[in-house]
A and B are shown apart, each in its own frame.
Chain A
Amino acid sequence: MNAIQVENITKTFPGKRSPAVKEISLALEKGKILTILGPSGCGKTTILRLIAGFEKPDRGRIILAGKAVADDTVWVPPEKRGVGMVFQDYALFPHLNVYHNIGFGYRGKDRKERIAEVLELVKLSGFENREPHELSGGQRQRVALARALARRPVLVMLDEPFNSLDAELRGRMRLEIARIIKESGTTAVFVSHDQKDALAISDQVMVIRDGLSQQCGSPQEVYRFPENSFVANFVGQSNIMSGVIGEDGRSVETGLGVIPCEHLHDCRPGEKVEVSIRPDSLELDERGPLLGRITCLVYTGESYEARVDFVGEGGDRMSLLAHVHPERTVKLGDMVRMKLLPEFVAVLGCRPATCQVPRSAGTGRGAAD
């Protein structure tokens, strides 16, 4: 059974023309982690607030652990939903110490044991009597998570949880939080604008833009086979070219020639499509078929980011971004030969993207719908 299932929810805020969230559907199995990824203002936090019950959807249905909590007739207030929240600023109660923060909503008889248990889980045993202001950023975050987990929520949701941490701590906390969630066996929804968060910890990623779902899938799927140019550029860097699907159905004809392609997104031969070429799939090769001039070169430490101008078959110029191994010596203005690796070349979807909701037995609507 899905821990959370959202069906076609739409939300327009009063006084606004366009909906903040439009026809969003998603589903997540118990114990999995989903990241809702998108630029700021894309509506991802609204989805989270809709699920938590801080906002009411205009249309659609939200089902938590098999029970509808919001649809045309049902409305369950946030305090009765059993959804744990971790906010960006953690929102620890400043008037309570760690122990009482974690035990805030817990009413069971085993309160003491449960608090000790979650403290153990987040590795903060012995911090019970600390006040929130005596904790470091990472510790506060773990307390906030422990507080959300203490009540054994159906679902825990984290809103940009790593935003206020510096880069180094961010990397560590990412893994630590993922560990805690996995260990506790909880289902989790993250909201983030950082693709690294999403790719590192998620079982599922959902990319959102302007309130509309752009793509759903595993991190690998989303990175390797972006549905559209927005996803291709938002999740990693990408070069977008137009082309036509080859007769064999395994390649695309572009200005750079025929490119082998692994994923065609159900597009048929002969169809005009766009192709995403990751900078990593362009590699220096003495015998490569492509000849171009480096017009811009940025050294990032991990690699060179080089902009290479190619002259296509039809004579038109094309400027592509390529990653060059930092050991190679290249200069601005060099003429270089390159080849294309098919692993990171993908045809973008030629139809509007939809997120497929995996139907499971026991939820409201039948499969025939």
Chain B
Amino acid sequence: MIRPVSSLKRGWAVLWRDNPPGAALLFSAGLTALACAVPAFYVLERSLSAGRGRWQGLLDTRIPQLLGNTLTLAAAVTLIASVLGVGLAWLVRKSDLPGRRAWQWLLALPLVIPPYVGAVAYIIILGPRGWAREIFGERVFDIFSFWGVVFVLTMFTYPYVFLICGAALKSINRNFEDVARSQGLGTAEIFWKVNLPFMRPALGAAAILVSLYVLSDFGAVAMLRYSTFTTAIYYRIDGYDNVSAAILSVALLALTLIVLGIEVRARGRRRYHQTSEVFLPPRPVKLGRWKLPALALVLAVFACSLLAPAGVLVYWASLGIARGALAGEFWRFSANSVGVAALAALAAMLLALPVVYLRSRHPSVVSGLIEKLSVSGYALPGVVIALGLIFFFSRYLPMLYGTFALLPAAYVVRFLPQAIQTGGASLNLVSPRMDEVAKSLGCSPGKVMFKVIVPLVTPGLLTGGALVFVSSLKELPATLLLRPPGFDTLSVRIWVEAGEALYHLAAPAALLIIVLSIPPLKWLLARR
């Protein structure tokens, strides 16, 4: 009897490379991972329990339609956002564009505008009753069209490409460009042969980010009356046809996995290392006669992605405030939003710590799996998480179903990756020697956690918390589906009021969300 036990013990030790974690740590991290896996698991389980007929019915017509809609949208937005983002990043990082430093920050700013808010702004400007029609007398552009959706999503997602590729461009050592120039290559050739290949991993990552965003976006797509998987799932859940919603969700998840698979393959193939120890800052390329067109392009993008929507919102917000939109109701919605987002942020910070610590200090297959499950939320659209939570809570925790506890739960599953990323980044800066010194000075593992690790990673965790907070504040589909009666948030109000074309009521809420989103973006930019 002793042998199997000891060999089990040995196996456990080998699994953890002789460094098994304490029970409390493993338990809390494992529980977090399981909780994050709940939505996807129950969606899958429900879809499998649906009859063949249900699957057949959807596979025959609906899924191909949605697949076509969703894929063309994702492809168009990703392509245009990539071209635009890379072009702007090159101008800002490599050329002598006037005001380059300011543009680095200004062109990233559209990230603070949730795309559904952008969609509202563009319905006001370009919609059938929009300002453009009043100025030009006729409709210049139909915003309720495929290209309208592409335009809006591109305007609010290109900053991902811009930021990530800009950082990559900045880190390319000038030596490489100098070598290329000494071999007689022109600026364009250098871009294609040196800059672009170096940027490729970053561009790939950014493009994946954009496509994942398009796959998961609900608000902008729904406001512009376009049909993708998320809106189809949303309206199925809304009509309490949860089984069909589950089937559509599984199709969407498969699509997401394919996109992620492309990323993994692309990342595996190419990796560049900077060889030189000496780093020279880049020397700006002279734009010459292209200076004015380049500046015009940058200005146009900035106007479309930030000035115009922000201007519209400020205008309607001021109208609204003059008409008393900031009444008690507004502050109640704000308090709901902030309260539930803060709860999610707090929970995310607390839950991220054990996961991050386990991964960093006890690397193994198990801790890797725990981390992967815990960050799976970033690939799960809000509608799918909401559906999974509806299944889980109505079956196992009916006393909580229909209460506002489901909101922070959904936010945590969706946005925990942000806390894990920042917390992990800040824990990686803390050498494991710190833990060991503390142990050698007589601290138990628990004490090490609280006396050394927590104080050192708190800034990172708080930043993660702030990111979770802002993301939760903006979240729309899960909030719409899971909120209890009488619990409206800012994002819900934007959806409701904009749906009724009551823009003076929607604008103040949208502006408040935008203002609250600016500080965490500053942190993101500082890191890049």
Q: Mark A253-264, 1 if CB is under 8 A from B, else 0.
A: 000000000000
- Chain A nearest CB, measured from B479 CB (Å): 37
Q: How distant is the Cα of A84 from the Cα of B13 in the complex, in angstroms? A: 26
CB of B140 closer than 8 Å to a CB of A: no
Which residue of the partner chain, among B18, B440, B451, contacts A78 with CB atoms under 8 Å? B440
Q: Is the Cβ of B438 less than 8 Å from the Cβ of A104?
A: yes
Partner of B17, one of A14, A77, A89, A105: A14
Task: Kindly state whether residue A95 has any CB partner on chain B within 8 Å.
Answer: yes
**Complex-state Cα separation, A248 to B307, whole angstroms:** 99
Tell me, yes or no, whether B273 is within 8 Å of chain A by CB: no
Q: Does B257 contact A (CB under 8 A)?
A: no
Q: Chain A residues near B438 (CB, 8 Å)?
A: 93, 104-105
Decide if B433 touches A83 in the complex (CB within 8 Å): no
Q: A81–B433 contact, CB under 8 A?
A: no
Contacts A13-B18, A95-B455, A95-B456: A52 and B433 contacting too (C-beta < 8 A)? no
Say whether A79 contacts B444, CB under 8 Å.
yes
Q: Complex formed: what's the CA distance from A82 to B431 in Å? A: 21
| Chain B window 419-439, contacts with chain A (Cβ cutoff 8 Å), 1 for yes, 0 for no | 000000000000101101111
Instruction: Give the distance in Å from the alpha carbon of A87 to the alpha carbon of B430 in the complex.
Output: 14
Does B239 belong to the interface (CB within 8 Å)?
A: no
The answer to whether residues A93 and B434 also contact, given A14-B13, A56-B18 and a CB cut-off of 8 A, is yes
CA distance A55 to B17 in the complex (A): 10
The answer on a CB contact under 8 Å between B433 and A89 is yes
Most buried by A among B14, B18, B437, B442: B437
Contact present for A15 and B436 (CB under 8 Å): no
Closest to A105 in B: B441
Distance between Cα atoms of A79 and B441 in the complex (Å) = 6
A81: chain B residues at CB < 8 Å are 440
Asked if B440 and A107 sit within 8 Å, CB to CB, the answer is no
At the interface, yes or no: A44 with Cβ under 8 Å from chain B? no
List B contacts of A107 (CB < 8 A).
442
CB within 8 Å of B: which A69-112 residues? 77-85, 87, 89, 91, 93-95, 104-105, 107
Known contacts A15-B14, A107-B442; decide if A94 and B456 are in contact (CB<8 Å).
Answer: yes
Which residues of chain B are near A299, meaning CB under 8 Å? Answer: none
B436 touches A91 (CB 8 A): yes
In the complex, what distance in Å separates the CA atom of A89 from the CA atom of B440?
16
Residues of A within 8 A of B67 (CB): none
The reply on B196 being an interface residue by CB < 8 A is no
Residues of chain B with a CB closer than 8 A to A85's CB: 436-437, 440
Q: How far is the CB of A87 from chain B (nearest CB, A)?
A: 4
Give the CA-CA distance A54 to B436 in the complex, in Å. 7
> Which residue on chain A has the smallest CB distance to residue B429?
A94
A278 in contact (CB, < 8 A): no
Closest to B451 in A: A104
Nearest chain B CB to A174's CB is how many angstroms away? 21
- Bound-state CA distance A95–B455 (Å) is 7
Number of chain A residues close to chain B: CB under 8 A:
29
Q: Which residues of B contact A91 (CB under 8 A)?
A: 431, 433-434, 436-437
Minimum CB distance partner of A94 in chain B: B456
> Which residues 39-83 of A have a CB within 8 angstroms of B?
52-56, 77-83
A81 to B441 Cα, complex, angstroms: 9
Closest CB in chain A relative to B433 CB, distance in Å: 4
* A136 CB, nearest partner CB in chain B, Å: 19
Residues of chain A within 8 A (CB-CB) of B455 are 95
| Interface presence of B443 (CB below 8 A) | yes
- B436-467 contacts to A (CB < 8 Å): 436-444, 451-452, 455-456
Pick the contact of A151: B431, B436, B441 (CB < 8 A). B441
Tell which of A79, A82, A85, A104 has the most Cβ of chain B within 10 Å.
A79
| A304 shortest CB reach to chain B, Å | 33
Scoring A13, A53, A82, A105 by chain B CB atoms within 10 A of each residue's CB, the highest score goes to A105
- A148 proximal to B (CB < 8 A): yes
The smallest beta-carbon distance between B104 and chain A, in angstroms, is 29
Report the minimal beta-carbon distance from B439 to chain A, rounded to whole angstroms.
4
A147 contacts B by Cβ under 8 Å = yes
Chain B residues near A55 (CB-CB < 8 A): 18
Mark B7-22 against chain A: 1 for CB-CB distance below 8 A, else 0: 0000001110110000
Q: Which of A77, A85, A147 has the most CB of B within 10 A?
A: A85
| Chain B residues, Cβ within 8 Å of A77 | 439, 444
| Chain A residues, Cβ within 8 Å of B444 | 77, 79
Flag if A147 contacts B18 (CB, 8 Å): no
Q: Select which of A14, A87, A94, A104 is within 8 A of B436 by beta carbon.
A: A87
Chain A residues contacting B431 (CB-CB under 8 Å) are 87, 89, 91
Enumerate chain B residues within 8 angstroms of A147, measured Cβ to Cβ: 437, 441
- The answer to whether A104 and B441 touch across the interface, beta carbons within 8 angstroms, is yes
Residues in chain A near residue B437, CB distance under 8 A: 85, 87, 91, 93, 147
Give Cα A297–Cα B443 distance, bound, in whole angstroms: 56
Interface residue ranges of B208-263 to A (CB < 8 Å): none
Would you list 23 pairs from A and B whose C-beta atoms are within 8 A, ordered by A residue? A14-B15, A14-B17, A15-B17, A54-B436, A56-B13, A77-B439, A78-B439, A78-B440, A79-B439, A79-B440, A79-B441, A81-B440, A82-B442, A85-B436, A91-B436, A91-B437, A93-B456, A95-B455, A104-B451, A105-B442, A107-B442, A147-B437, A151-B442
The 6 closest A-B pairs by CB, nearest first: A105-B441, A91-B433, A14-B14, A85-B440, A78-B439, A105-B442
Given A14-B15, A79-B440, 6 more A-B residue pairs with CB atoms under 8 Å apart are: A77-B439, A79-B443, A80-B442, A89-B431, A94-B456, A151-B442
B interface residues (Cβ-Cβ under 8 A, vs A): 13-15, 17-18, 431, 433-434, 436-444, 451-452, 455-456
